[in-house]
Amino acid sequence: MNNLIKIQQILTKIAKVKGDDLTVESKLADIKGWDSLSQIKLIIALEAEFKVKLATTEIMKLHTVRDIINSIEKNNKC
Amino acid sequence: MNKIKSNKSENEPWQVNFAESSPFELIVACDVLNEIISIGASVLNYNKKIKIAILSSTTNNFLLEYIRLYFFQKGIFAEFYDAPFNNIISEILDVRSSLYSFKPDFTLILPYINDIDEYPDLFADNQQVDNLINNYTQKYIGLINKIKQKVSSYIIFSLFVLPNQRQLGNLEAKYKFSRITMLRQLNLKLAEDMPNDVTVLDLDYLFSNIGKDACFDEVGFFTSKFAYSLSATKEMTLLIGNLISSALGDMKKCLILDLDNTLWGGIIGDDGLNGINLDVNNPLGEAFLAFQRYLLQLRQRGILLAVCSKNDLNNALLPFKEHPNMLLKESDISCFMCNWDDKPLNIKRIAEYLNLSADSFVYFDDNPAEREIVRTFLPEVKVINVPDDPALFVRALDKSYCFEWLQLSPEDISRTDFYVKKGETGTAIETFVNYEDYLKSLEMYGKVSHLSKNELPRFTQLINKTNQFNLRTVRYSESQIMEMMQEQEKNILLFIELNDKFTPFGIISSLILKIDGNSLFIDTWVMSCRAFKRGVEKLAFNSIIENAKKIKAEQIIGEYIPTNKNHIVADLFTDFNFIPDAGEKHNKSSGQSSFFYLKTEDAGSLLHYIQMR
């Protein structure tokens, strides 16, 4: 299962958005009902699913699905 | 009412095991619960509603959700008032504040280390430091008194969590003016001066126990103002949840203990007094003794100790009476329930004897299958998830939060000077639980097979190890058994396997039947104690009859040779309608054997609840 699908599943759980509606270009802020609590849950979910620890600067830069994928892949390479 | 309760709830996706779920799994469960609550609370079932106000200077969303989830699993709906960030003081002093109109049942006050804005100067004298401490103390106590004036709420006040950073490094231990030392003293003074009806929450101890570094989440704090990590929040929830539950009357008062491999190493019935491990020079023995030492402490503070063990009562009492290293005494145990019945039934009996409800009990047993049976049939009993290593027993029990009371009184302590009850069987209290339904629900399946080489070691081991369910106590070596296997016209060797929903027991009974003319003689019939009271002996009996019919034996002969360990089978033959030899007196205790006879044609098939495979 590739990273995009996993991330779609996480976002679906958090924001009740349809996974298929999310593309790599989708902006988190555009998701209906997305708020700061959703953002926090996203970080927690990403850390649990991908076993990474995201730094403050990385978290501040997560605006789109592509940003998330890049961040995960960067952490997995290290 | 003889219904057996099961705690498997198919329709409630938030019923995750709180203590054993990861913080993330808990968030998922919380989200599901929130979703359902927002649809409309009428679809939810709860027995009780409580109102909890949280006053804190940091963000508490997850604590709040965790606590709501925790209580919802107990059938309690928790409504929250979360005081605005950094507004603790104005909330409390403003008479019109929504805190007061909320009318909370419980008010949780969580000060945060960053609230301390003034620390002593370096080299400040003791008087200066004390003044600062007094000022802070008076401020918080003043606020609490204000709350008490306006609202009759249970107040839980948290002590400060000391930070995981130090200006002076290790030196802070020495100097009273250092931040860490000042905070320690502040916490002591707060605890001391707090009104008696306020519950002091020692969050600093809790976090030290978990590990401070795992409790602080700097990234979480800077990005979202969450004071502590999710795993710290989870532990806070467990502690606060247990304290509030105590306030609501849901308190655990009695710890039920298994014996073998729980209080000592080994099995008293098999290993005897000299064989069990309470050896002070042995790591395992020491671990069990450390556990007993901790149990004595619990007893001292007013928690009742009870024993529930599958054992002969006299065997079970032996270590308490005679083992030189045993720390727990008979008089420490309020109820001794030792017999071969299954644990849920015995726990119900203990509850009746001690006049306590099932939800007052904590159950500690090294055997995971027994624990699962108790969890399934008595969901109100708190079952400790006992680790495999006895060295970790104390830790597992201590960290379970099950004895978080709100106060200690001399009456609590004297409660343990209760009557001591010993029981082999309940008397009129026999069936809380319909035993047949219980046996059926175990979903047992068994198999009787002829012995082959593969099973020889276990078959022989059973014969040589078993003392209690053993009619003649004749021991054989593997080679002797192999010889018997080869003489098929003279010997029938059978073994019985048993499994149930909870445990794969494996081979638990060995039989050696000898063909003697037109009789079939039961030379050996042994069964492992673990399989008592399940109907396996009936299965064995049916099999003996079947084999007798196959070889056209007219009668089946049994012999009972009493020992001081096997009185449990003294009446086995008469129970199965064998006729005792008229010529001899059926003497159970003299060591003289007795013979019993059953005509094959008279033998009926016995009912049991073991499915045959």
Q: pLDDT tens across B546-558, in order?
A: 999 999 999 999 9
Q: What is the pLDDT of residue B41?
A: 61
B300 touches chain A (CB under 8 A): no
Q: What is the pLDDT of residue A9?
A: 87
Residues of chain B above pLDDT 70, percent:
92
CA distance B60 to chain A (A): 11
Q: Predicted confidence band at B5 (pLDDT cuts at 50, 70, 90)?
A: very low
Most confident of B55-59, B247-251, B285-289: B285-289
B223 touches chain A (CB under 8 A): yes
The letter for the amino acid at B602 is: D
Q: Predicted confidence band at B8 (pLDDT cuts at 50, 70, 90)?
A: very low
CA distance A48 to chain B (A): 7
pLDDT tens for B173-207 read 999 999 999 999 999 999 999 999 999 999 999 99
Q: What is the pLDDT of residue B401?
A: 94
Mean pLDDT of A48-70: 90
Q: Is B569 left (phi over 0), alpha (psi -120 to 50) or beta?
A: alpha
Q: Which residue has the higher pLDDT, B592 or B132?
A: B132
Average pLDDT, chain B: 88
A36 touches chain B (CB under 8 A): yes
Paired sense of beta strands B199-201 and B333-339, if any: unpaired
Query: Which of A44, A47, A52, A71 is most worth mutating to test chain B (most B CB atoms within 10 A of its CB)?
Result: A44
Mean pLDDT of B378-397: 96
Contact at CB, A40 and B224, closer than 8 angstroms = yes
Which residues of chain B are within 8 Å of residue A57 when distances are taken between CB atoms?
none
Mean pLDDT of B352-365: 91
Instruction: Give the nearest chain A residue to B221 (CA atoms).
Output: A56
Nearest residue to B557 (alpha-carbon basis) of B595, B606, B605: B595
CA distance B14 to chain A (A): 14
Q: Predicted confidence band at B525 (pLDDT cuts at 50, 70, 90)?
A: very high
CB B157 within 8 A of CB B140: yes
Contact at CB, A59 and B223, closer than 8 angstroms = yes
B360's CB contacts (< 8 A; 6+ apart) are B251, B252, B253, B254, B351
Q: Which residue has the higher pLDDT, B587 or B556?
A: B556
Euclidean distance between CA atoms B456 and A4, whole angstroms = 57
Quote ipTM for the complex: 0.81
- Backbone torsions φ then ψ of A57, nearest 5 degrees: -65, -35
Judged against a pLDDT cut of 90, whether residue A53 lies above it is answered with no
Helix and strand counts by DSSP (H, E) for chain B: 22, 19
The beta-carbon neighbor of A41 closest among B27, B219, B222 is: B27
Contact at CB, B223 and A56, closer than 8 angstroms = yes
Mean pLDDT of B267-285: 93
Q: What is the pLDDT of residue B423?
A: 46
CA distance A34 to chain B (A): 14
Judged against a pLDDT cut of 50, whether residue B130 lies above it is answered with yes
Contact at CB, B24 and A36, closer than 8 angstroms = no
B284's CB contacts (< 8 A; 6+ apart) are B265, B277, B390
Contact at CB, B222 and A56, closer than 8 angstroms = yes
Strand order in the sheet with B154-158: B76-82, B48-56, B106-110, B154-158, B199-201
Torsion of CA B241, B247, B249, B252, to 10 degrees: 60
Q: What is the pLDDT of residue B86?
A: 60
B31 touches chain A (CB under 8 A): yes
Write down the pTM of the prediction: 0.80
Instruction: Give the nearest chain A residue to B229 (CA atoms).
Output: A44
Backbone Cα Rg of chain A: 11
Q: What is the pLDDT of residue B43?
A: 61
Query: Which of B28, B58, B60, B223 is most worth mutating to test chain A (most A CB atoms within 10 A of its CB)?
Result: B223
B564 touches chain A (CB under 8 A): no
Using the structure block, give the residue that is written with the tokens 């606020």.
B143
Euclidean distance between CA atoms B416 and B307, whole angstroms = 14
Euclidean distance between CA atoms B62 and B217, whole angstroms = 14
Q: Predicted confidence band at A34 (pLDDT cuts at 50, 70, 90)?
A: confident
The beta-carbon neighbor of A55 closest among B23, B219, B226 is: B219
B460's CB contacts (< 8 A; 6+ apart) are B476, B477, B478, B481, B510
CB B287 within 8 A of CB B393: yes
Euclidean distance between CA atoms B448 and B508, whole angstroms = 11
Q: Predicted confidence band at B42 (pLDDT cuts at 50, 70, 90)?
A: low
Paired sense of beta strands B519-527 and B504-516, if any: antiparallel
Q: Which residue has the higher pLDDT, B302 or B3?
A: B302
Judged against a pLDDT cut of 70, whether residue B152 lies above it is answered with yes
Contact at CB, A44 and B22, closer than 8 angstroms = no
How does DSSP classify residue B161?
Answer: P
A74 touches chain B (CB under 8 A): no
CB B66 within 8 A of CB B234: yes
CA distance A23 to chain B (A): 23
Q: Predicted confidence band at B352 (pLDDT cuts at 50, 70, 90)?
A: confident
A18 touches chain B (CB under 8 A): no
Q: Predicted confidence band at B442 (pLDDT cuts at 50, 70, 90)?
A: confident
Judged against a pLDDT cut of 80, whether residue B51 lies above it is answered with yes
Q: What is the pLDDT of residue B1?
A: 29
Judged against a pLDDT cut of 80, whether residue B409 lies above it is answered with no
Contact at CB, A40 and B219, closer than 8 angstroms = no
CA distance A13 to chain B (A): 8
Inter-chain Cβ pairs, chain A and chain B, closer than 8 A: 30
Q: Tokens in use for B243?
A: 């304290």
Which residues of chain B are within 8 Å of residue A40 when distances are taken between CB atoms?
220, 223-224, 226
- H or E segment and range at residue B415: none
A35 touches chain B (CB under 8 A): no
Nearest residue to B342 (alpha-carbon basis) of B569, B566, B535: B535
**What are the start-end ranges of the E strands in B542-606?**
555-560, 579-580, 594-599
Beta bridge partners of B264: B260
Helix and strand counts by DSSP (H, E) for chain A: 4, 0
Instruction: Give the nearest chain B residue to A35 (CA atoms).
Output: B224
